[in-house]
Amino acid sequence: MNGNWLVGLELLILGMGFVLAFLCILVGAMYIMSMFVGYLNKIFPEAVEVVERKSKKVTSSDDDLIAIALAAIVSKK
């Protein structure tokens, strides 16, 4: 029974070690790729289109305001 515990512990440590190593390599590779893409964005910037929006002037009449107030009062009941 003692030997099985040691084999299981050895497999646990090896498996966790491989996963930890893989994740560290993955984080490092992602960091290097983000630095590389940032460098490429400085060399080849993406063109940004400027879109002008026309603002609409909203006017509401007194009838609209009264209808909104009445709807609020009725919905509270």
pLDDT tens, the chain, 77 aa long: 688 999 999 999 999 999 999 999 999 999 999 999 999 999 998 888 888 887 766 666 778 888 888 888 888 75
Q: What is the DSSP letter of 45?
A: P
- pLDDT for position 35: 96
- pLDDT for position 68: 86
- pLDDT for position 34: 96
Predicted TM-score (pTM) of the model is 0.53
- pLDDT for position 61: 74
CA-based end-to-end distance of the chain: 73
The 3 state secondary structure assigned to the chain is: CHHHHHHHHHHHHHHHHHHHHHHHHHHHHHHHHHHHHHHHHHHCCCCCCCCCCCCCCCCCCHHHHHHHHHHHHHHCC
